Amino acid sequence: MTIRHLTHRRLATVLALAACAPAVHADNAASNLRPSGRFSVRPVATAATPPMGWNPWNAFHTQVTEAKIMAVAQVLKSTGLADAGYRYVNMDDGWWLKRRADGRIEIRTSMFPSAALPDGGTSFRPYVERLHSMGLKAGLYTDIGRNACSQSWDEHGANLPVGTRQEREIGTYGYQAQDMRLFYGEWGFDYVKVDACGVADFQAEKPFVKDGTYRALGPYMVRNRPDLSEPKVVERLYADLRAAIDAVRPDGDFILSICNWGEVHVTDWGKDYGQMWRTSQDISANWWSMLHNFDSSAGRALYAGPGHWNDPDMLEVGLGEFDADHPVEARAHMSLWAIINAPLVLGADLSKPAPVVLDIIGKRDVIAVNQDPAGNQGVIVARTADTEALVKSMAQAGTKALALVNRSAHPQALSVALARLNLDPAAPATMRDLWTGQERAVERGVISAELAPHETRLLLVRGLPELKNGVYLGEMPARINVAADGRTQISALRFASWVPAQVNASPAGTPLMVGGKRRDNGIGVLSDSRLEVRLDKEFSRFRTVAGANDDTARPLTFRVYGDGKLLFEQAGTQPVEIDVPVRGVDTLELVVEGKDREAGVVLATWADARLMR
């Protein structure tokens, strides 16, 4: 929303929230392109691998109780799921009773009887300590605005906050420091999910605002209308929340889960404040909803890594079209979440789990793909209208996870050459099906599969790396940070569907091109972008062919920096070969700058970008 569309009162609010925001991203393209000399992602304190756990929302909504949660916690322990990694036992909307005059939130003790204290107050400390005593971690839920999602979307539902209008304002807006001291400090929670309905769904024209039930706020986030949203305001609120958490947990031992459904450019700034952020709307227990949410994260490998993860929402295994009667779809869902490093947060009622559901969610070989310590999200290497293949580079050299996906309701055949996995097609290679355990040799350098409707085959492939003494940048997305993405060149609506920096594809999702030639390996970016690559002094040379991503000459300037020192610079309209020494360098930075007065947008490619040891 532009300033001229704001009322004077809302303008004052926006300016107040956006002021004095050192962590909040600036729009000044020139300053964003200056080298930082360092890898600027926060050091990993927790969530070095994607968080795993359980959330009651998809099974119980606001009808959750302490007894229901503890029944699932016992199953996590007794079945070995906790030992497999599912340790965060979370809760969602509906737990609060009201906010007292002193700002403290009271707990609904009819749902959580252990919260009742002898003095008439309430505390979640006994509940949290019970989970901790079981070797589990505890998660809570809140909102970035004044009110929660249930108050907007379930107006007549059970377990809504009670009391006066002010008492029913149980979101963190205006109470960030007090609530974080309560949640992470006094109560001892390890994980807090922070929703955003409070800044999206309480606009002045809503009936429940007009009648005085709730106060208006924003909207600072207009769903599916990024051109009308105010990203800096929402970012500022999450920045303030993170600062409040840091004051309580300076050791960084916590998780902040940002839930604003991929809106307001959260992929730009989510990693600065949270360990995970939603990339899509809420998931439903049907095939097409699952694929939609998967797609929202699948192209964003460069935005995730240890301590900061794309989150396409909870696992629906055990529910709807992924229940015990749909094992093919359930395994596909689990496989896709595993290969894109999605947080594995279960959503079904596990108090009486079906054996096939337990087998799927507890499959250690599949979980190991998700939890691989390198933290590289899988990247798409082949795609048709009905099929796709994703490859994830594992920590062990020459080892790849490969997902062969049939999105359709009809059988499909799919083949992928070893070369697309950056493995030597002339060298011996093996592949193991992680669901069946069957292992066999790869024949003639090609992996082929006949896929049943909705089937995903998840394979672990071992071979000889194609680069004998190096690695392509696309094989190590967890070590790349998109420090500036050039998005000011494109409209907000286009930005919602493009990914400004992608592995093996342009921001528009089209194939990589340089000098009229298609390139299978590389990073596609917008001009006015800067990538930070964490080298840790492990490499000796950087090599690439850089140019505009089409057959029309576009004026671009390419720069390469090592620890802030300029190593290469060249401007022009033709592709340029770059080969620079990087021995002893911790952080490599790749900058492309340029404008097109007619087109306005310039797509650029770092083709065959690779690091040699």
Q: Where are the alpha helices (DSSP H) in 186-286?
A: 207-210, 231-248, 266-273
Q: Where are the alpha helices (DSSP H) in 306-451?
A: 327-339, 355-361, 364-370
What is the β-pairing status of strands 522-526 and 96-99? Answer: unpaired
DSSP, collapsed to helix, strand or coil, labels residue 183 as helix
What residues have CB less than 8 Å from 164, skipping those under 6 apart?
Answer: none
Q: Which residue has the tokens 């069957």?
A: 438
Name residue 567's amino acid. Answer: L
Tokens read off for 299: 């192209």
DSSP, collapsed to helix, strand or coil, labels residue 191 as strand
Catalytic residue chosen out of the listed positions 92, 93, 195, 424: 195
- With helix as H, strand as E and coil as C, how does 53-88 read? EECCHHHHHHHCCHHHHHHHHHHHHHCCHHHHCCCE
Q: Which residue has the tokens 């919260």?
A: 115
Asked if residues 526 and 500 have their Cβ atoms less than 8 Å apart, the reply is yes
**Helix 287-298 × helix 327-339 angle, to 10°:** 10
Our answer to whether residue 282 is catalytic in this structure is yes
d(CA 317, CA 339): 16
d(CA 352, CA 314): 19
Tokens read off for 4: 């001229």
Catalytic residue chosen out of the listed positions 154, 246, 282, 365: 282
Neighbours of 158 (CB within 10 A): 11
Q: Which residue has the tokens 């839930």?
A: 259
Tokens read off for 239: 């920045």
- With helix as H, strand as E and coil as C, how does 425-480 read? CCCCCEEEECCCCCEEECECCEEEEEECCCCEEEEEEECCECCCCEEEHHHCHHHE
What residues have CB less than 8 Å from 458, skipping those under 6 apart?
Answer: 331, 335, 338, 339, 366, 369, 401, 402, 403, 433, 434, 435
Asked if residues 283 and 316 have their Cβ atoms less than 8 Å apart, the reply is yes
Element (H, E) at 608: strand 603-612
What residues have CB less than 8 Å from 611, skipping those under 6 apart?
Answer: 470, 471, 473, 533, 535, 538, 539, 541, 542, 582, 588
Positions annotated as catalytic residues are 195, 282
